Chain A
Protein backbone atom coordinates (compact mmCIF):
# COMPACT_ATOMS: atom_id res chain seq x y z
CA UNK A 1 0.00 0.00 0.00
CA UNK A 2 2.88 2.38 0.67
CA UNK A 3 4.93 1.18 -2.30
CA UNK A 4 4.95 4.66 -3.87
CA UNK A 5 6.47 6.21 -0.76
CA UNK A 6 9.08 3.42 -0.68
CA UNK A 7 9.91 4.12 -4.33
CA UNK A 8 10.30 7.82 -3.54
CA UNK A 9 12.86 6.88 -0.83
CA UNK A 10 14.55 4.58 -3.35
CA UNK A 11 14.89 7.46 -5.83
CA UNK A 12 16.54 9.64 -3.18
CA UNK A 13 19.28 6.99 -2.90
CA UNK A 14 19.44 6.40 -6.68
CA UNK A 15 19.84 10.09 -7.47
CA UNK A 16 22.52 10.49 -4.83
CA UNK A 17 24.50 7.49 -6.17
CA UNK A 18 24.14 8.68 -9.77
CA UNK A 19 25.48 12.13 -8.80
CA UNK A 20 28.42 10.72 -6.80
CA UNK A 21 29.42 8.51 -9.74
CA UNK A 22 28.75 11.16 -12.41
CA UNK A 23 26.42 8.76 -14.18
CA UNK A 24 24.48 9.88 -17.21
CA UNK A 25 21.91 7.13 -16.92
CA UNK A 26 20.75 4.36 -14.61
CA UNK A 27 20.30 1.17 -16.60
CA UNK A 28 19.30 -1.39 -14.01
CA UNK A 29 18.26 -1.42 -10.36
CA UNK A 30 18.48 -4.61 -8.29
CA UNK A 31 16.62 -4.95 -5.01
CA UNK A 32 16.56 -7.62 -2.33
CA UNK A 33 13.09 -7.78 -0.84
CA UNK A 34 12.61 -9.55 2.49
CA UNK A 35 9.55 -11.78 2.20
CA UNK A 36 8.12 -10.57 5.47
CA UNK A 37 8.46 -6.84 4.85
CA UNK A 38 4.85 -6.74 3.65
CA UNK A 39 5.92 -5.03 0.41
CA UNK A 40 4.30 -6.49 -2.70
CA UNK A 41 6.77 -6.97 -5.61
CA UNK A 42 4.18 -6.33 -8.37
CA UNK A 43 3.04 -3.08 -6.75
CA UNK A 44 6.63 -2.00 -6.22
CA UNK A 45 7.32 -2.63 -9.92
CA UNK A 46 4.29 -0.55 -10.97
CA UNK A 47 5.26 2.26 -8.60
CA UNK A 48 8.83 2.21 -9.96
CA UNK A 49 7.69 2.34 -13.59
CA UNK A 50 5.41 5.31 -12.79
CA UNK A 51 7.94 7.22 -10.72
CA UNK A 52 10.92 6.80 -13.06
CA UNK A 53 9.38 8.95 -15.85
CA UNK A 54 11.53 12.01 -16.48
CA UNK A 55 14.29 10.90 -14.06
CA UNK A 56 17.82 9.64 -14.64
CA UNK A 57 16.35 6.13 -14.37
CA UNK A 58 13.66 6.71 -17.03
CA UNK A 59 14.87 3.75 -19.10
CA UNK A 60 15.94 1.55 -16.21
CA UNK A 61 14.53 -1.86 -15.44
CA UNK A 62 14.18 -3.20 -11.94
CA UNK A 63 14.93 -6.73 -10.73
CA UNK A 64 13.50 -7.84 -7.41
CA UNK A 65 14.98 -10.85 -5.63
CA UNK A 66 12.78 -12.14 -2.83
CA UNK A 67 14.71 -13.17 0.27
CA UNK A 68 13.24 -15.52 2.90
CA UNK A 69 13.46 -14.67 6.59
CA UNK A 70 16.71 -16.13 7.98
CA UNK A 71 17.17 -16.44 11.72
CA UNK A 72 19.77 -17.85 14.08
CA UNK A 73 18.59 -19.41 17.33
CA UNK A 74 20.51 -18.13 20.35
CA UNK A 75 19.37 -21.22 22.26
CA UNK A 76 20.75 -24.02 20.04
CA UNK A 77 22.62 -22.04 17.32
CA UNK A 78 20.45 -23.53 14.54
CA UNK A 79 19.99 -21.46 11.38
CA UNK A 80 16.36 -21.29 10.35
CA UNK A 81 14.54 -20.15 7.21
CA UNK A 82 10.94 -19.07 7.77
CA UNK A 83 8.08 -18.48 5.38
CA UNK A 84 5.78 -17.24 8.13
CA UNK A 85 5.88 -15.03 11.17
CA UNK A 86 5.83 -17.72 13.87
CA UNK A 87 9.07 -16.75 15.53
CA UNK A 88 9.89 -19.91 17.48
CA UNK A 89 12.89 -22.21 16.87
CA UNK A 90 11.55 -25.49 15.41
CA UNK A 91 14.36 -27.51 17.05
CA UNK A 92 14.46 -26.24 20.64
CA UNK A 93 11.31 -24.02 20.85
CA UNK A 94 13.41 -21.05 21.95
CA UNK A 95 12.04 -17.60 21.14
CA UNK A 96 15.42 -15.93 21.45
CA UNK A 97 16.15 -15.54 17.75
CA UNK A 98 18.53 -13.25 15.94
CA UNK A 99 17.34 -11.94 12.58
CA UNK A 100 20.01 -12.40 9.90
CA UNK A 101 18.15 -11.42 6.73
CA UNK A 102 14.71 -10.95 5.25
CA UNK A 103 13.14 -8.15 7.31
CA UNK A 104 14.26 -5.29 5.08
CA UNK A 105 14.21 -3.93 1.58
CA UNK A 106 17.76 -3.45 0.36
CA UNK A 107 19.06 -1.66 -2.72
CA UNK A 108 21.68 -4.24 -3.72
CA UNK A 109 23.25 -3.05 -6.99
CA UNK A 110 22.81 -0.41 -9.68
CA UNK A 111 24.07 -0.57 -13.27
CA UNK A 112 25.12 2.90 -14.38
CA UNK A 113 26.21 4.48 -17.62
CA UNK A 114 29.09 6.82 -16.87
Chain B
Protein backbone atom coordinates (compact mmCIF):
# COMPACT_ATOMS: atom_id res chain seq x y z
CA UNK B 1 0.00 0.00 0.00
CA UNK B 2 1.35 3.42 -0.91
CA UNK B 3 0.28 6.97 -0.44
CA UNK B 4 -0.09 9.20 -3.45
CA UNK B 5 -0.72 12.91 -3.68
CA UNK B 6 -2.94 13.70 -6.64
CA UNK B 7 -3.10 17.26 -7.95
CA UNK B 8 -6.63 17.87 -9.22
CA UNK B 9 -7.26 21.68 -9.45
CA UNK B 10 -10.84 21.21 -10.66
CA UNK B 11 -13.73 23.46 -9.88
CA UNK B 12 -16.24 21.54 -7.79
CA UNK B 13 -19.23 23.08 -9.54
CA UNK B 14 -17.46 22.66 -12.89
CA UNK B 15 -19.99 20.06 -14.03
CA UNK B 16 -22.87 22.52 -13.48
CA UNK B 17 -20.98 25.19 -15.45
CA UNK B 18 -20.38 22.76 -18.29
CA UNK B 19 -24.07 21.80 -18.54
CA UNK B 20 -25.01 25.50 -18.34
CA UNK B 21 -22.66 26.37 -21.21
CA UNK B 22 -24.24 23.63 -23.34
CA UNK B 23 -27.75 24.93 -22.62
CA UNK B 24 -26.69 28.51 -23.44
CA UNK B 25 -25.06 27.37 -26.69
CA UNK B 26 -28.11 25.40 -27.84
CA UNK B 27 -30.74 27.98 -26.92
CA UNK B 28 -28.84 31.03 -28.17
CA UNK B 29 -28.32 29.26 -31.50
CA UNK B 30 -32.07 28.60 -31.60
CA UNK B 31 -32.74 32.32 -31.01
CA UNK B 32 -34.00 31.88 -27.45
CA UNK B 33 -32.99 34.50 -24.87
CA UNK B 34 -32.87 32.80 -21.47
CA UNK B 35 -33.52 35.02 -18.44
CA UNK B 36 -32.80 33.77 -14.89
CA UNK B 37 -34.83 35.65 -12.25
CA UNK B 38 -33.38 35.69 -8.73
CA UNK B 39 -34.79 37.14 -5.54
CA UNK B 40 -35.94 36.41 -2.02
CA UNK B 41 -39.39 34.78 -1.61
CA UNK B 42 -42.29 37.17 -1.93
CA UNK B 43 -40.50 39.89 -3.86
CA UNK B 44 -42.93 39.54 -6.76
CA UNK B 45 -41.20 37.35 -9.37
CA UNK B 46 -44.35 35.54 -10.49
CA UNK B 47 -46.52 38.67 -10.57
CA UNK B 48 -43.86 40.49 -12.61
CA UNK B 49 -43.74 37.51 -14.98
CA UNK B 50 -47.52 37.61 -15.41
CA UNK B 51 -47.27 41.25 -16.50
CA UNK B 52 -44.30 40.52 -18.79
CA UNK B 53 -46.20 37.63 -20.37
CA UNK B 54 -49.14 39.93 -21.10
CA UNK B 55 -46.80 42.51 -22.67
CA UNK B 56 -44.61 40.15 -24.72
CA UNK B 57 -46.98 37.33 -25.68
CA UNK B 58 -48.93 39.01 -28.49
CA UNK B 59 -45.78 39.45 -30.62
CA UNK B 60 -43.16 37.19 -29.01
CA UNK B 61 -43.62 33.47 -28.24
CA UNK B 62 -42.27 32.71 -24.78
CA UNK B 63 -42.06 29.95 -22.21
CA UNK B 64 -41.53 29.85 -18.45
CA UNK B 65 -39.81 27.48 -16.02
CA UNK B 66 -40.86 27.86 -12.41
CA UNK B 67 -38.65 26.70 -9.55
CA UNK B 68 -40.08 26.10 -6.09
CA UNK B 69 -39.56 23.74 -3.21
CA UNK B 70 -43.13 22.43 -3.43
CA UNK B 71 -46.41 22.89 -5.41
CA UNK B 72 -47.40 23.61 -9.04
CA UNK B 73 -48.97 26.93 -8.07
CA UNK B 74 -46.66 29.29 -9.95
CA UNK B 75 -46.64 27.28 -13.18
CA UNK B 76 -50.46 27.16 -12.99
CA UNK B 77 -50.59 30.95 -12.73
CA UNK B 78 -48.46 31.31 -15.89
CA UNK B 79 -50.40 28.61 -17.80
CA UNK B 80 -53.59 30.56 -17.14
CA UNK B 81 -52.03 33.32 -19.28
CA UNK B 82 -51.85 30.84 -22.19
CA UNK B 83 -48.10 30.30 -22.13
CA UNK B 84 -46.24 26.96 -21.80
CA UNK B 85 -44.87 26.63 -18.27
CA UNK B 86 -43.07 23.84 -16.41
CA UNK B 87 -42.73 23.53 -12.67
CA UNK B 88 -39.53 22.18 -11.15
CA UNK B 89 -40.13 21.24 -7.53
CA UNK B 90 -36.78 20.75 -5.83
CA UNK B 91 -38.26 18.97 -2.78
CA UNK B 92 -36.13 21.03 -0.40
CA UNK B 93 -33.13 22.19 -2.41
CA UNK B 94 -32.63 25.94 -2.16
CA UNK B 95 -31.70 26.62 -5.80
CA UNK B 96 -32.10 25.31 -9.35
CA UNK B 97 -29.19 23.60 -11.11
CA UNK B 98 -28.42 23.53 -14.83
CA UNK B 99 -29.21 19.82 -15.24
CA UNK B 100 -32.79 20.42 -14.02
CA UNK B 101 -33.25 22.99 -16.80
CA UNK B 102 -31.46 20.75 -19.32
CA UNK B 103 -34.05 17.98 -18.89
CA UNK B 104 -36.79 20.34 -20.10
CA UNK B 105 -35.06 21.50 -23.29
CA UNK B 106 -36.76 18.95 -25.61
CA UNK B 107 -40.17 20.30 -24.53
CA UNK B 108 -39.53 23.94 -25.42
CA UNK B 109 -41.48 24.85 -28.60
CA UNK B 110 -39.31 25.70 -31.62
CA UNK B 111 -40.80 29.20 -32.10
CA UNK B 112 -39.88 30.32 -28.55
CA UNK B 113 -38.09 33.67 -28.38
CA UNK B 114 -37.82 34.05 -24.60
CA UNK B 115 -37.41 31.49 -21.83
CA UNK B 116 -37.87 32.93 -18.35
CA UNK B 117 -36.62 30.84 -15.43
CA UNK B 118 -37.99 31.82 -12.05
CA UNK B 119 -35.46 30.50 -9.54
CA UNK B 120 -36.30 29.25 -6.05
CA UNK B 121 -36.96 32.27 -3.80
CA UNK B 122 -33.60 32.77 -2.11
CA UNK B 123 -31.08 35.59 -2.45
CA UNK B 124 -28.07 33.44 -1.50
CA UNK B 125 -27.70 30.01 -3.09
CA UNK B 126 -29.10 30.54 -6.63
CA UNK B 127 -26.33 33.12 -7.23
CA UNK B 128 -23.75 30.30 -7.32
CA UNK B 129 -25.44 28.30 -10.09
CA UNK B 130 -25.32 29.22 -13.77
CA UNK B 131 -28.46 27.82 -15.45
CA UNK B 132 -27.35 28.60 -18.99
CA UNK B 133 -29.00 32.02 -18.96
CA UNK B 134 -28.10 34.88 -21.30
CA UNK B 135 -29.31 37.43 -18.75
CA UNK B 136 -29.50 37.27 -14.99
CA UNK B 137 -31.95 39.60 -13.26
CA UNK B 138 -32.11 40.18 -9.53
CA UNK B 139 -35.33 41.55 -8.04
CA UNK B 140 -35.49 43.72 -4.96
CA UNK B 141 -38.93 44.64 -3.68
CA UNK B 142 -39.32 47.94 -1.85
CA UNK B 143 -40.65 46.32 1.38
CA UNK B 144 -37.45 44.25 1.72
CA UNK B 145 -35.43 47.40 2.38
CA UNK B 146 -32.80 49.45 0.55
CA UNK B 147 -29.89 47.82 2.43
CA UNK B 148 -30.04 44.41 0.73
CA UNK B 149 -27.39 44.73 -2.03
CA UNK B 150 -24.44 44.86 0.38
CA UNK B 151 -25.96 42.21 2.65
CA UNK B 152 -26.37 39.74 -0.23
CA UNK B 153 -23.63 40.92 -2.61
CA UNK B 154 -23.15 37.86 -4.76
CA UNK B 155 -26.64 37.96 -6.25
CA UNK B 156 -26.11 41.61 -7.23
CA UNK B 157 -22.49 41.12 -8.37
CA UNK B 158 -23.42 38.35 -10.81
CA UNK B 159 -26.57 39.99 -12.25
CA UNK B 160 -26.98 41.95 -15.49
CA UNK B 161 -29.99 43.88 -14.31
CA UNK B 162 -31.68 44.93 -11.08
CA UNK B 163 -35.46 45.17 -11.04
CA UNK B 164 -36.93 47.16 -8.16
CA UNK B 165 -40.45 45.79 -7.65
CA UNK B 166 -43.51 47.04 -5.74
CA UNK B 167 -42.37 50.64 -6.33
CA UNK B 168 -45.99 51.79 -5.77
CA UNK B 169 -45.37 51.12 -2.03
CA UNK B 170 -42.30 53.39 -1.78
CA UNK B 171 -44.30 56.42 -0.51
CA UNK B 172 -45.37 54.35 2.52
CA UNK B 173 -41.97 52.85 3.35
CA UNK B 174 -38.58 54.06 4.62
CA UNK B 175 -37.13 52.85 1.31
CA UNK B 176 -34.54 55.13 -0.30
CA UNK B 177 -34.54 54.34 -4.01
CA UNK B 178 -31.30 56.24 -4.65
CA UNK B 179 -29.51 54.43 -1.81
CA UNK B 180 -30.65 51.01 -3.04
CA UNK B 181 -29.48 51.83 -6.57
CA UNK B 182 -26.12 53.21 -5.43
CA UNK B 183 -25.40 50.23 -3.17
CA UNK B 184 -26.09 47.90 -6.06
CA UNK B 185 -23.94 49.97 -8.46
CA UNK B 186 -21.03 49.97 -5.95
CA UNK B 187 -21.02 46.19 -6.15
CA UNK B 188 -21.68 46.00 -9.86
CA UNK B 189 -21.26 49.23 -11.86
CA UNK B 190 -22.57 47.55 -15.02
CA UNK B 191 -26.05 46.80 -13.62
CA UNK B 192 -29.03 48.10 -15.59
CA UNK B 193 -31.72 49.25 -13.17
CA UNK B 194 -35.49 49.14 -13.78
CA UNK B 195 -38.11 50.47 -11.42
CA UNK B 196 -41.39 48.60 -11.66
CA UNK B 197 -44.80 48.15 -10.15
CA UNK B 198 -46.62 45.07 -11.46
CA UNK B 199 -49.79 46.28 -9.75
CA UNK B 200 -49.78 49.66 -11.53
CA UNK B 201 -48.12 48.41 -14.72
CA UNK B 202 -45.18 50.79 -14.22
CA UNK B 203 -41.83 50.03 -15.87
CA UNK B 204 -43.06 46.80 -17.50
CA UNK B 205 -42.88 48.14 -21.06
CA UNK B 206 -39.27 49.36 -20.50
CA UNK B 207 -38.27 46.00 -19.13
CA UNK B 208 -39.93 44.14 -22.03
CA UNK B 209 -38.07 46.43 -24.46
CA UNK B 210 -34.77 45.64 -22.68
CA UNK B 211 -35.37 41.90 -23.18
CA UNK B 212 -36.35 42.39 -26.83
CA UNK B 213 -33.21 44.50 -27.49
CA UNK B 214 -31.01 42.01 -25.62
CA UNK B 215 -32.34 39.23 -27.85
CA UNK B 216 -31.64 41.26 -31.01
CA UNK B 217 -28.07 41.90 -29.77
CA UNK B 218 -27.63 38.22 -28.99
CA UNK B 219 -28.66 37.23 -32.51
CA UNK B 220 -26.47 39.91 -34.13
CA UNK B 221 -23.45 38.73 -32.10
CA UNK B 222 -24.00 35.21 -33.37
CA UNK B 223 -23.99 36.36 -36.97
CA UNK B 224 -20.69 38.16 -36.35
CA UNK B 225 -19.22 35.09 -34.64
Contacts and interface: CB of A to CB of B under 8 A. Distances in A.
A74 interface: no
Interface in A68-88: 84-88
A1 B120 CA distance: 13
Contact of A5 (B93, B157, B186): B93
A2 interface: yes
Contacts of B93: 2, 5
A104 B13 CA distance: 8
Contacts of A37: 128, 154
Interface in A92-114: 95, 104-114
A12 B150 CA distance: 34
A24 interface: yes
A5 to B, nearest CB: 6
B71 interface: no
B15 A21 contact: no
B188 to A, nearest CB: 7
Interface in B10-26: 10-13, 15-16
B5 interface: yes
A112 B6 contact: yes
Nearest to A36: B154
Given A38-B124, A88-B186, A114-B4, A106 B10 contact: yes
Contacts of A106: 9-12
B3 interface: yes
A43 to B, nearest CB: 12
A87 B3 CA distance: 43
Contacts of A95: 189-190
B8 A111 contact: no
A103 B34 CA distance: 23
A-B pairs, top 6 by smallest CB distance, nearest first, are: A85-B153, A95-B189, A2-B125, A110-B6, A107-B8, A105-B12
Interface of B: 1-13, 15-16, 93-95, 97, 122, 124-125, 127-128, 150, 153-154, 156-157, 186-190
10 contacts: A2-B95, A2-B125, A36-B157, A85-B157, A86-B187, A107-B9, A111-B4, A112-B3, A114-B1, A114-B2
